[in-house]
Amino acid sequence: MTYVIGHKNPDTDSICSAIGYAAFKNAMNAGSAQAARAGELNPETTFVLEHFGLPVPEYLESAADKDLILVDHNEVAQAVDDVNDARILEILDHHKIGDIQTAEPIYFRAMPIGCTATIVYLCFKENDLTPDAATAGGLCSAILSDTLAFRSPTCTPLDQEAAEALAKIAGIEDIQAYAKQMFKAGSELAGKSPKEILYMDFKKFTAGSTTYGVGQVTSMDEDELAELSKTMTSYMNESFSEHGVDMLFLLLTNILEESSELVVAGEGAEETAKKAFTSAEADRLYLKGVVSRKKQVVPPLTEVLS
Positions in the binding site for Mg ion (CB under 5 A):
11, 13-14, 72, 116, 146
For residue 42, the minimal CB distance to Mg ion (Å) is 10
Phi-psi region of 42 (alpha: psi -120 to 50; beta: other; left: phi over 0): beta
Residue number closest to Mg ion, CB atom: 13
Q: Using CA atoms, how far apart are residues 176 and 204, in angstroms rounded to an integer?
A: 31
Nearer to Mg ion, 141 or 206 (CB): 141
Nearer to Mg ion, 42 or 208 (CB): 42
Nearer to Mg ion, 11 or 75 (CB): 11
Q: What angle do CA 187, 177, 36 make, to 5 degrees?
A: 55
Residue type, 26: N
Nearer to Mg ion, 186 or 194 (CB): 186
Nearer to Mg ion, 120 or 273 (CB): 120
For residue 180, the minimal CB distance to Mg ion (Å) is 17
Tell me phi and psi for residue 259, to 5 degrees. -145, 165
For residue 106, the minimal CB distance to Mg ion (Å) is 19
Q: Using CA atoms, how far apart are residues 208 and 57, in angstroms rounded to an integer?
A: 35
For residue 31, the minimal CB distance to Mg ion (Å) is 24
For residue 193, the minimal CB distance to Mg ion (Å) is 21
Beta pairing partners, 2: 33, 67
Q: Which residues contact 283 (CB under 8 A, 6 or more apart)?
A: none
Residue type, 277: F
